[in-house]
Amino acid sequence: MKRILIVDDDVNTLDFLRLLLQQYGYEIFSARDGCEAIETLETQPVDLVLTDVAMPRLNGYQLCQQVKSAANPHLALIPVVLMSCRTLDSDIRYAKALGADDYLTKPFVIEDLLAVVEGKLVAAERLRSLFVQQAGGPQMVILIINQHQVRLDYRQHRAWSGEVEIDLTAREMFLFERFARQPNEVISLADLVKATHDLTTDYQEASQLVRPLIRTLRRKLESHLGHELCIKNVRARGYLLFAELPRLDFSPVLTRLNSPGSPFTGHQ
């Protein structure tokens, strides 16, 4: 199930969009302004941001700019769709210059909104897949597991908890990397055995090959990250890694954006 964060200071709009998108099978988070949205992005896995422009504290332009400039690729690759009553070409160009994936002018046709949401989610999933497959993709990913910061280096196939390296075998590392590419999502045994053994096989053989690696990886992670379960078996579906995105300190950014002379102050 894809997760959408709706950001709007109008409660009626929030409720309408929440009910609409839930009917189409999306899980919904909501926020009243950009600051609340950032708090959600810091703690929840989000696949797309649908945000109004004119909001207090942190507006939609500023929120888009912060998501698209994030150092963590899990954040930077999230599609951001802006919604606004502003119809001037200059407003639309400004949004796109900040990295917005689309711009919907209010009032919009519901079918257009649904098409944009579905299209951007499909494109983002393809981009994420290419991003991790290509040599020029992300070399480092940072996750928070059991309140510990973990770094994974895809180029070197190494992982650290803080400054301490986690000693993993090659296949344990391949397994960890596969989980890290889709944290909090169930990965099937077929996908896991493909990552660890480069095999396409039946469920029984995949289970025999992967489950011992799951046990040893779980034990090693827990020795560094505490004994709270971080890899969960989801019956008849596969396994998932519980992880969070790193909490980012946006306070210096907010101060700068709201200061006199900021280029954002004219786009409230």
Q: Residue 259 half-sphere exposure, CB side, CA atoms within 13 Å?
A: 7
Q: Which CATH class is domain 3-133?
A: alpha beta
Is 0.85 surpassed by the pTM of this model?
no
Question: Which residue type, as a one-letter code, is found at position 144?
Answer: I
Q: Sheet with 158-161: list strands edge to edge.
A: 140-145, 148-153, 158-161, 164-165
Domain locations along the chain: 3-133, 147-241
Q: Which CATH class is domain 147-241?
A: mainly alpha
Contacts of 109 (CB under 8 A, 6+ apart): none
**SS3 at position 211:** helix
pLDDT at position 181, please?
Answer: 84
Per-residue burial over 36-55, b = 16 or more CB atoms within 10 Å of its CB, e = otherwise: bbbebbbeebbbbbbbbbbb
What CA–CA distance (Å, rounded) separates 230 from 97? 39
Positive or negative: CA dihedral 188, 193, 199, 202: negative
What does the pLDDT profile of the chain (268 residues) look like in tens digits?
789 999 999 999 999 999 999 999 999 999 999 999 998 887 777 899 999 999 988 999 999 998 988 766 667 789 999 999 988 889 999 998 888 999 999 999 999 999 999 999 988 877 766 555 543 445 677 888 888 888 888 877 889 998 899 988 888 999 999 998 888 889 999 999 998 888 888 888 889 999 999 999 999 998 988 877 789 999 888 999 988 765 444 444 455 555 555 444 444 4
Only one residue has tokens 């098409």, namely 115
What CA–CA distance (Å, rounded) separates 195 from 1? 23
User: By 3-state DSSP, what share of the chain in percent is helix, strand and coil, each rounded to 5?
Assistant: 45, 20, 35
What CA–CA distance (Å, rounded) separates 185 from 108? 32
pLDDT at position 255, please?
Answer: 54
